[in-house]
Amino acid sequence: MGKQGCVYLIGAGPGDIGLLTLKGYTYLQRADVVLYDRLVNPLLLEWAPPQAEFIYCGKMPKKHILRQEAINDLLVQHGLEGKNVVRLKGGDPSVFGRVGEEVEVLKNAGVAYEIVPGITAGIGAAAYADVPVTHREHSHSFAVITGHDKSPSGEPLIDWQALAKGIDTIAFYMGLANLPYIADQLISHGRSSETPVLLIQWGTTGKQRTLQGSLATIVERAKAEQFKNPAIILVGEVSKLKKGESWFESQPLFSQHLLLGRTNEEPSEIGEHLRDKGAEVFEFPRMQVKKYRLTEANMATDRDLLFLSPASVEVFFESLQRNKIDIRTIQGNLYGLSKKTIMALEAYHCRAEEIADRTSNDSRLLIFGDTSWADLEEERERFALEHDFIITHAYDRVHQTEHTFSRLRDEERIDTIIFPNARSVETVTAGLQACGESPSVISRHARVICFGGKSKQAATNAGYSVHTVLARPSEDALFEELLKKEAPHAVVLS
């Protein structure tokens, strides 16, 4: 009997990748196939396994990339093939996510499934705008309503009388096209024309915009500000609780969409810190390690050893075990190029120091690193003029990262490119070219920031127009530079 497949119908939340549930994250990391919708943040795709297949099921008003029937067929097909299938939906799958239809099809086909709830946009977007949907003084009831339906006009056919008079806070989903109709129906069925209204566009993302008004004024204001879907229409007294910028909108790097050049498989601390300050960060391209097999001849035990990355540490100790070499035979000192590498060595219960602290050059140094260091003899000689270099691993680009880039580009969610070093220019450029993008085109629409002269020279040689070179090659200097200029919202990369 073959492996039984399962379809996981997962709510991805309203946009902020941090709002995906732990259970959803766990299943996404095991996925063989991911079918995802337009309102799913493309950055979530970076958490899927490198071999996962991505299928875009984007839906826009009157324009479907895949019709629901085709999506249903794909879920059944892959489930019957014994695969772990993740159906990733914006918000909560049970709130206007058509999960009921998909479940019925899976049941009829005998395919196992599981529903993983998510944070729905009406609650998540409101919270990121500083508005609670219930409040002891303003709202004792809350309803979510579709802003359009299957009626010939697309205007929601609901009990307007009960809604207007019986519900304190109402969240209309994807209803901006019907905003005049919605406002008219609520007023004509007894809701005061002065009832506060809050529009939240692209809630919980760096593209979040809000607009306040009343049932009497919101239509003209939305038209003047060119508000469009995806958006939530929040009607009720709680809407007036928003005063100025919300906690989310007041983050120092809010609205900035950064592409941070990546050279290895590990997410960077800089990227994490930028996210903590409110930026959306895409570390590109995603990489995976291809480990080399070290022989006993590669592992001299009488020299000082320098490891250039945590991955080189891992390969070395795996090779020790495979070659049955007792760690106690290592007589030299152990050094790491970075704090992360030192920590990797300490995880194997070894005492290690940073290479900058090495005071003795009496012994020939044995250096372990990835293929990118093979041609950098001058760089290696900074550590020791007399040394041998052993290649422990290579980094291969995960091709799904190109899919993530394409979706972010199409959604105008890349406005700044950051090159921390010259090597990042090489890896990013190779990734862009795989996506059909060129350095000259992308740097006409996104500012390019380089950490120093070497990265600037590499970027210029590759065809980028460099906008800024940091005064100091540091995270603090980068933060200061990003604070100088608010990244643009509307950027078309190609």
- pLDDT tens for 107-123 read 999 999 999 999 999 99
Q: Is residue 413 part of a domain?
A: yes
Q: Do 349 and 436 fall within a single domain?
A: no
User: What's the pLDDT score for residue 131?
Assistant: 97
Q: Do 293 and 360 fall within a single domain?
A: yes
Q: Do 333 and 202 fall within a single domain?
A: no
Task: Give the CATH number for residue 385.
Answer: 3.40.50.10090
In the chain, the N- to C-terminal Cα span, in Å, equals: 49
Q: Shortest CA distance to 305 belongs to which of 326, 340, 346, 334?
A: 334
Does the pLDDT at position 336 exceed 90?
yes
Predicted confidence band at 327 (pLDDT cuts at 50, 70, 90)? Answer: confident
- Is the separation of the CB atoms in 7 and 106 below 8 Å? yes
User: What's the pLDDT score for residue 482?
Assistant: 97
Q: Is residue 492 part of a domain?
A: no
Q: Is residue 109 part of a domain?
A: yes
Structural domain for 35, as ranges: 6-119
Task: Give the CATH number for residue 60.
Answer: 3.40.1010.10
Task: Give the CATH number for residue 140.
Answer: 3.30.950.10
Q: Do 161 and 85 fall within a single domain?
A: no
Q: Shortest CA distance to 199 belongs to which of 238, 162, 227?
A: 227
Q: Do 63 and 143 fall within a single domain?
A: no
Does the pLDDT at position 490 exceed 50?
no
Q: Can the peptide bond before residue 49 be classed as cis, meaning omega within 30 degrees of 0?
A: no
Query: What pLDDT digit, counting tens, does each position of 167-177 carry?
Result: 999 999 999 99
**10 Å Cβ neighbour count for 448?**
23
**10 Å Cβ neighbour count for 94?**
17
Give me the mean pLDDT over the 436-441 stretch.
96
Per-residue DSSP letter, 429: H
**What DSSP string runs through 262-281?**
--SSSPPHHHHHHHHTT-EE
* Range with lowest mean pLDDT among 76-90, 220-234, 286-300, 452-466: 286-300
Q: Is residue 41 part of a domain?
A: yes
User: What's the pLDDT score for residue 72?
Assistant: 96
Q: Is residue 1 part of a domain?
A: no
Number of domains making up the chain? 4
Q: Is residue 490 part of a domain?
A: no
User: What's the pLDDT score for residue 491?
Assistant: 27
- CA atoms of 40 and 183, how far apart (whole Å): 29
pTM above 0.85, yes or no: yes
* Order of strands across the sheet that contains 169-173: 142-146, 169-173, 231-235, 196-201, 209-214
Phi, psi of 67 (to 5 degrees): -75, 160
Q: Do 144 and 186 fall within a single domain?
A: yes
Q: Shortest CA distance to 352 belongs to which of 363, 362, 341?
A: 341
What percent of the chain stands above pLDDT 90? 82
Give me the mean pLDDT over the 125-138 stretch.
96
Q: Do 180 and 195 fall within a single domain?
A: yes
Give me the mean pLDDT over the 129-137 stretch.
96
**What DSSP string runs through 290-336?**
EEPPPPGGG--SSSEEEESSHHHHHHHHHHHHHTT--GGG--S-EEE
Q: Do 406 and 372 fall within a single domain?
A: no
- CA atoms of 218 and 236, how far apart (whole Å): 13
Instruction: Give the distance from CA 301 to its chain's centroid.
Output: 43
User: What's the pLDDT score for residue 297?
Assistant: 76
* Range with lowest mean pLDDT among 124-133, 154-163, 183-192, 414-423: 154-163
Query: Residues with Cβ < 8 Å from 469, sequence gap 6 or more?
Result: 449, 450, 451, 452, 453, 456
Predicted confidence band at 488 (pLDDT cuts at 50, 70, 90)? Answer: very low
Indicate the burial class of 273 (C-beta count within 10 angstroms; 0-12, 13-18, 19 or more).
Answer: middle
| 174 annotated active-site | yes
Residue that terminates a domain, selected from 397, 426, 459: 397
User: What's the pLDDT score for residue 329?
Assistant: 87
Q: Do 421 and 390 fall within a single domain?
A: no
Query: What pLDDT digit, counting tens, does each position of 60-97 carry?
Result: 555 557 889 999 999 999 999 999 999 999 999 999 99
36 beta partners: 56, 88
Q: Do 157 and 95 fall within a single domain?
A: no
DSSP H helices, 3-144, are 22-28, 68-80, 99-109, 121-128
Residue 468 DSSP SS3: strand
Q: Which of 16, 92, 174, 299 is catalytic?
A: 174
- Residue found under tokens 């990227």: 271
- Between residues 151 and 486, which one has the greater pLDDT? 151
Q: Do 318 and 336 fall within a single domain?
A: yes
Phi, psi of 149 (to 5 degrees): -145, -165
User: What's the pLDDT score for residue 60?
Assistant: 56
Computed over every residue of the chain, the mean pLDDT equals: 92
Q: Which of 16, 37, 130, 370 is catalytic?
A: 37
Q: Is residue 489 part of a domain?
A: no
Give me the mean pLDDT over the 3-9 stretch.
93
Q: Is residue 247 part of a domain?
A: no
Does the pLDDT at position 335 exceed 90?
yes
Q: Which of 23, 59, 291, 340 is catalytic?
A: 59
| 1 annotated active-site | no
Query: Residues with Cβ < 8 Å from 26, sequence gap 6 or more?
Result: none
Does the pLDDT at position 260 exceed 50?
yes
User: What's the pLDDT score for residue 492?
Assistant: 26
Q: Can the peptide bond before residue 42 be classed as cis, meaning omega within 30 degrees of 0?
A: no
Q: Do 158 and 176 fall within a single domain?
A: yes
| 37 annotated active-site | yes
Phi, psi of 423 (to 5 degrees): -65, -35
